[in-house]
């Protein structure tokens, strides 16, 4: 359950709260495995049928508008 357990990739969702209009980000760690998204496009496809729950850290609104996704490479600690 810690980093370094297998290979994983971290996608960072950039969201805009629909209520308070503040930007926020949410990291989603995806294992590097067959069937798992490996690019931003594939990740966005996955979100369409498996949405990631959002909750604004400022106002606790549950509605966020997705404005972008970036991917971070995560190196397994040896
Ligand atoms: Zn908010």
Instruction: Kindly list the distances between the CA atom of residue 23 and the CA atoms of 20, 55, 66, in Å, as whole numbers in the listed order.
Output: 9, 12, 10
Domain boundaries, the chain: 7-75
**From ligand 1's centre to the CA of 15, what distance in Å?**
10
**From ligand 1's centre to the CA of 47, what distance in Å?**
21
| Gap between the Cα atoms of 10 and 43, Å rounded | 11
Q: Is 0.85 surpassed by the pTM of this model?
A: no
**From ligand 1's centre to the CA of 24, what distance in Å?**
8
Q: What pLDDT does residue 75 have?
A: 58
**From ligand 1's centre to the CA of 75, what distance in Å?**
32
Tokens of 10: 């971290």
Q: Is the pLDDT of residue 52 over 90?
A: no
**From ligand 1's centre to the CA of 20, what distance in Å?**
4
Q: What pLDDT does residue 39 have?
A: 93
């Amino acid at each position: 359950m810690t980093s370094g357990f297998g290979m994983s990739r971290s996608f960072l969702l950039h969201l805009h709260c629909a209520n308070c209009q503040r930007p926020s980000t949410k990291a989603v760690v995806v294992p590097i495995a067959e069937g798992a998204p490996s690019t931003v496009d594939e990740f966005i496809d996955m979100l369409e049928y498996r949405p990631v729950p959002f909750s604004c850290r400022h106002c606790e609104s549950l509605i966020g508008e997705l404005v972008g996704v970036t991917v971070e490479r995560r190196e397994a600690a040896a």
